[in-house]
Structure 1
Amino acid sequence: MKKIITTKKIATTLLIGSCVLALAACGDKSANLNPQQPASLAQGQTADSKGLTESPYQSIFQDSLFVGDSIMEGLSFHDVLKEKNVLAGAGKTAEFALEDIDELAGRNPKQIFIQLGSDDILWPTDNPEEYSLQNYTKLIGAFKEKLPQAQITILSVTPVTAEAEKQEPRYKNISDYNQGLKELAEQENVGFVDLSPIFSDGSDDLYDSDGIHFKPKYYNKLLDLLKDQVK
């Protein structure tokens, strides 16, 4: 009987030991799956008192608001600017942006930068450019009414890569659409900035994999081009 009890104790001890080792192994695996390693700061970024990264552009454009579609949304998605300085979203057109007037007025920006059109030129209507510019005119009028002291600047629609244009031929209309935006800016007495100098070297390394959207370094170039517009 004594031998049986001793054997049971040994078996129990071995079982407990196995469980402890198994738990320790699981703990190691969890640590590997969720490594708590500090990420290095991107070039030009600083860490605030809470350890969060801050773009140097955030102070320059702290009183600005960037309105647009998913391309403009990249400013906050890539943490170049804070979300409060960006009012943009995928599929946004000049018509849909009219729904954001109250939100925009509530943020009370001193400068408004607008970049819409990448989705507008794909709109299923007989003349998407004309339809878009009509809504663009309404949008600017609403901005002036709600925020009469704000400085308004229209940005040209960014080009796409040759491959993206091949897949969606309507992107060939970007140049004509940008000419329409330039004329609209003159008509409405607002600013206009041609973004083509950013792409003057013909390099595609700014683009994301779809050839339409952009990597973070594009947004640094964009804000470098625009910082003189901020008073």
Structure 2
Amino acid sequence: MKSNVKLIAVASGIIVVMLVAIIVIIVMGNKANRISEKALETGSEKLQTAEQVSVKDSEESIDALLEKEKKEAEEKAASSQKEQEQEKPVKKEKLSNKEIKTIFKDSVFVGDSLTEGIEVYQFLSKSNVVYHRGMSVPQMGDLSDTIVGLNPKQVFLWFGMNDLIYFSGDADKFAEAYAEQIKALQKKLPDATIYVNSILPIRENAIKKKSVFKYYEDYNGALEDMCQEMGITFIDATALAEAHSDQFEPDGIHISSTFYPYWFKNVAEKAGLL
């Protein structure tokens, strides 16, 4: 009997131990699962954070690369433009005295006091300038022998200022007289090319003193029409003179020496000598 009781007590103890062990194993397993789940959750969060950081870093890197490429492209374009500007020849607004003498060495300028200034200011020599102060177109024939004797390749006529008074503002009569003189000169110099220069704008102070000067635009219009009919180049310097209106003499008619280089540049371009 005692033996059976002892046996039962041992079996009960073993069962209790086994139950305790099972409980411990279950508790430990649940704890491990919780730890694993927590670790997994933490790892996932870290991974997401890492991915976010990685994407952000990538985006920033791409933006920085694009900005760098844009900057390099802009610098390259600016450098290229600068090189082109340096290589592009600067267009001069006027001719030097040496250029004037070289370009017009075979030319003769014919006219009144404005033409006289070409020699007075030593832009060209007497062999390139024929003038008479106060001369009008009808008297141009008086200079024809001198002009022919110089045997020029180009003849630049520059009349009109005095003709405003001579023809009392009648542009048509002025153009008719001019055409007659040109035809006569062409017969004597058949191989020379003749050009006609426009009358320079007359300042308001001069027009107030002599109202007939206000017709200079009509005269220029008649000259342009005449040249077109005759197949002659008309060299208009109106815009040029207006752009340099500060270089007129106080009388509002004549020009200072500093304007001539600009005028010569315009003449050379229109005549195709540049």
Under TM normalisation by the shorter chain, which class is it? 0.7 to 0.9
For residue 174 of structure 1, the aligned residue among 216, 241, 244 is 216
Query: How many residue pairs are counted as aligned between the two chains?
Result: 178
SS of the equivalent of 2:194 reads strand
Q: Distance in 2 between matches of 1:221 and 1:109?
A: 23
For residue 158 of structure 1, the aligned residue among 184, 189, 200 is 200
Q: Distance in 2 between matches of 1:44 and 1:183?
A: 32
TM-superposed deviation, 1:108: 0.6
Check if 1:207 corresponds to 2:244. no
8 Å CA contact 2:169–2:212 kept in 1: the answer is: no
Check if 1:75 corresponds to 2:125. no
TM-score, structure 1 as length reference: 0.72
Residue in 1 aligned with 2:177? 135
For residue 226 of structure 2, the aligned residue among 173, 184, 198 is 184
Superposed, which structure 2 residues align to 1:29-178 within 5 Å? 44-45=96-97, 55-123=98-166, 128-178=170-220
Q: Unpaired runs of 5+ in structure 2?
A: 1-94
Amino acid in the other structure paired with 2:156:
F
Q: 1:154 to 1:44 in 2, by over 3 A?
A: closer
8 Å CA contact 1:61–1:230 kept in 2: the answer is: no
Deviation string for 1:62-108 (max 9, x for gaps)? 00111111112111111111121111121111101111111111111
TM-superposed deviation, 1:213: 0.6
Q: Distance in 2 between matches of 1:194 and 1:66?
A: 15
TM-superposed deviation, 1:223: 0.5
Amino acid in the other structure paired with 1:64:
S
Deviation string for 1:147-198 (max 9, x for gaps)? 1111111111001111111111111100001000001101111111111121
Q: Distance in 2 between matches of 1:94 and 1:211?
A: 21
8 Å CA contact 1:120–1:129 kept in 2: the answer is: no
The percent of aligned pairs where both chains have the same amino acid is 28
Deviation string for 1:25-58 (max 9, x for gaps)? xxxxxxxxxxxxxxxxxx945xxxxxxxxx4311
8 Å CA contact 2:169–2:215 kept in 1: the answer is: no
More helix, by proportion? 2
Amino acid in the other structure paired with 1:67:
V
Q: 1:159 to 1:127 in 2, by over 3 A?
A: closer
Superposed CA RMSD = 1.8
Check if 1:226 corresponds to 2:267. yes
Q: Distance in 2 between matches of 1:126 and 1:230?
A: 34
SS of the equivalent of 1:153 reads strand
Q: 1:217 to 1:183 in 2, by over 3 A?
A: same
Q: Unpaired runs of 5+ in structure 1?
A: 1-42, 46-54
Q: 1:126 to 1:93 in 2, by over 3 A?
A: closer
